């Protein structure tokens, strides 16, 4: 990666804008993709999580939708590859490969 002082003014501005835009992107926590499908080459997923609220002293547990995810069918390989890499990171490192 280039050092900040090695970049042109235009490159520094583009980097700054990209970092600001990335910071503005929402972070979505979910526990389940409750519904999903495809319509007109667009994948559709509803993302849910558990919720616990107290109403008049009574604890009520349920689920709530946190996001409706939409993405082109063509991006499935990219999403699958990212999830596969995450799963690999979860596997323990064999003892012989540890420092």
Q: Convert the pLDDT of each residue in 21-44 to its tens digit.
A: 888 888 999 999 999 999 999 999
Query: Euclidean distance between the first and final Cα of the chain, in Å?
Result: 26
Each residue of 44-69: pLDDT tens digit?
999 999 999 999 999 999 999 999 99
Alpha helices in the chain (DSSP H): 9-24, 76-90
- Alpha-carbon distance of 91 to 79, in angstroms, equals 19
User: How many angstroms from the chain centroid is the CA of residue 47?
Assistant: 11
Strand partners, 46: 35, 68
């Amino acid at each position: 990666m280039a050092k900040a002082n090695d970049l042109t003014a235009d490159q520094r501005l583009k980097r700054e804008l990209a970092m600001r835009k990335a910071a503005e992107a929402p972070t979505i926590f979910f526990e389940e993709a409750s519904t999903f499908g495809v319509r007109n080459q667009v994948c559709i997923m509803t993302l849910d999580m558990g919720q616990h609220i107290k109403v008049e002293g009574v604890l009520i547990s349920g689920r709530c939708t946190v996001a409706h995810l939409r993405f082109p069918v063509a991006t499935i390989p990219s999403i699958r590859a990212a999830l596969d890499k995450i799963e690999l990171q979860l596997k323990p490192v064999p003892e012989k490969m540890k420092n």
